[in-house]
Amino acid sequence: MVGKAEYLERLYRNVKRFRSARIGEKVEGSSPPSVFIGRYGYPKVEIGPLIPLIRGDTREMDFPEMWLPSGKQAVDIAEFRLQLIRGKKTVDVRDQSRTTELVREIALSEKPAEVEATLTRAPVGGFFHEDVSPFGPSAPLKELHVDAGKWDPYLEKAYHDTDWRAKDVMVELYDSGIPVSSLQRALSVGAFGLERNRKLVPTRWSITAVDSTLSDTLLDEVRTLPQLEEFEVYQAFGLNNRFLVLLSPGMWRYESIEAFFPQIIGDKLEIFGDYEEFEGRKTYALIGGCYYSARLACAEKMLQKKRQAGVLILREVYEGYIPLGVWNVREHMRQALQTEPARFESWQAALQYALTQLRLPLGVWNEHSHTLAERATQTSLRSFL
């Protein structure tokens, strides 16, 4: 099965209708705080701040946990994210230069950091990706000045404790209420882990690493819980996505299927998915970071309910969709799972209800879902008993 990344490349090239900020070689503003670490050329990577041309409280510009509750639409998010100008400098992932120190100061800042940057030329372009939030034009850094103020005390403690394993740091800070997006940003600038292991982590990788690590840890406990006793269906709609979540009695198992409607990626419907059984998976999911962001939201819900269950996610992506990052999946899943579910006594009743909320018929989902195929086989076998 082909992963969706190569198909999405076509989508990114077509998202051209938003205007990025236009500026010369001098950039000044209050970074939300926000930084970006590229992945191309690894272990050489491009690092640098994301800077808006405004001063003041800009935290919302890089705080995805706030975007759905505040009613932001896809166009709103794309437009304010494209006002973030990226300065960039190529360094090794173990670099300890002054530029790397300043980028780290921004990432760990408790409040927006005052940043002044001189670029080698006027910035150009703009960036969209399914895993990472968009940002505006980029240019190489010539000079960088930062007044980050006070660091977040939890992140500062983690940074200075060089004997604290990265996984343990992330779990403890998460349990302390640090937002997932803050953990992802801190991990990307090498703020966590044993001193000998610390290095810069591309932003795209750090996002998935945090979602995966946290969900793996939560699921260790989930697998010990009693099983759910009835079938439940949750749903959410937003940013031209519809999410249906079916929970079924049984041991933990998980599958996520995404259907991109025609004229989004290409001229026809494109469907991608992946799954895991009770013991989890050993390889990277074909659908990428969305798999892990949704899994984290599901693990959180299981612990909240003090139950384990089988999980099937059916996501439909409609016309007008804009790639805004995997936070879109995580936060919509969190939103869906905090609503009151529809409850049913049988799998068939739950599935039939879910299908009334979706555009695609059962036959299409059956062709791409391990869970649905297995359920159909079990139903057929019962008829002979």
Q: Tell me the mean pLDDT in the region 203-209.
A: 97
Other beta carbons within 10 Å of 282: 6
**73 and 201: one domain?**
yes
**207 and 263: one domain?**
no
Query: Which of 213, 241, 272 marks a domain boundary?
Result: 213
Is the distance from CB of 222 to CB of 252 less than 8 angstroms? Answer: yes
Q: How confident is the model at residue 167 (pLDDT cuts 50, 70, 90)?
A: very high
Q: How confident is the model at residue 380 (pLDDT cuts 50, 70, 90)?
A: very low
SS3 51: strand
**279 and 206: one domain?**
no
**225 inside domain:** no
Q: Tell me the mean pLDDT in the region 329-352.
A: 97
**114 inside domain:** yes
Query: Which of 172, 187, 213 marks a domain boundary?
Result: 213
- Per the structure block, which two tokens stand in for 258? 């995404």
Question: Domain count of the chain?
Answer: 2
**200 and 170: one domain?**
yes
Angstrom distance (rounded) from CA 291 to CA 303: 19
Phi–psi pair at 32, nearest 5 degrees:
-50, -35
**224 inside domain:** no
Angstrom distance (rounded) from CA 369 to CA 189: 37
Phi–psi pair at 104, nearest 5 degrees:
-65, -40
Burial 339-365 (b: 16+ CB within 10 A, else e): eebbebeebeebbebbeeebebeeeeb
As a whole number of Å, the end-to-end CA separation of the chain is 35
Give the per-residue pLDDT at 7. Answer: 56
Q: Tell me the mean pLDDT in the region 169-185.
A: 98
Give the per-residue pLDDT at 263. Answer: 84
Asked if the model's pLDDT at residue 1 lies above 50, the reply is: no
**181 and 239: one domain?**
no
**240 and 331: one domain?**
yes
Give the per-residue pLDDT at 90. Answer: 98
**221 inside domain:** no
**165 and 241: one domain?**
no
Question: pLDDT by residue (tens digit) across 248-279?
Answer: 999 999 999 999 999 888 789 999 999 999 99
**182 inside domain:** yes
Can you give the residue range of the structural domain that contains 330? Answer: 231-382
Question: pLDDT by residue (tens digit) across 56-91?
Answer: 999 999 999 999 999 999 989 999 999 999 999 999
Q: How confident is the model at residue 385 (pLDDT cuts 50, 70, 90)?
A: very low
Query: Which of 213, 246, 280 marks a domain boundary?
Result: 213
Q: How confident is the model at residue 23 (pLDDT cuts 50, 70, 90)?
A: confident
**Helix, strand, coil percentages, rounded to 5, for the chain:** 35, 25, 40
**170 and 256: one domain?**
no
What is the DSSP secondary structure assignment for residue 323, as one 8-state letter? -
Q: Considering only CA atoms, which of 172, 243, 256, 160 is closest in space to residue 214?
A: 172
Give the per-residue pLDDT at 264. Answer: 83
Phi–psi pair at 134, nearest 5 degrees:
-65, 160
Give the per-residue pLDDT at 5. Answer: 62
**160 and 46: one domain?**
yes
Question: pLDDT by residue (tens digit) across 272-317?
Answer: 999 999 999 999 999 999 999 999 999 999 999 999 999 999 999 9
**329 inside domain:** yes
**223 inside domain:** no
**246 and 161: one domain?**
no
**226 inside domain:** no
Q: pLDDT higher for 13 or 269?
A: 269
Q: How confident is the model at residue 226 (pLDDT cuts 50, 70, 90)?
A: very high
Q: Tell me the mean pLDDT in the region 114-142.
A: 93
**170 and 269: one domain?**
no
Give the angle subtended at the CA of 77 by the CAs of 71 and 83, to the nearest 5°. Answer: 140
Give the per-residue pLDDT at 384. Answer: 37
Burial 169-205 (b: 16+ CB within 10 A, else e): bbbebbeeebebbbbbbbbbbbbbbeeeebebbbbbb
Longest dimension (CA), the chain: 76
Burial 14-40 (b: 16+ CB within 10 A, else e): eeeeeebbebeeebbbbbbbbbbbbee
Question: pLDDT by residue (tens digit) across 49-65?
Answer: 999 999 999 999 999 99
Is the distance from CB of 315 to CB of 256 less than 8 angstroms? Answer: yes
**139 and 71: one domain?**
yes
Q: How confident is the model at residue 125 (pLDDT cuts 50, 70, 90)?
A: confident
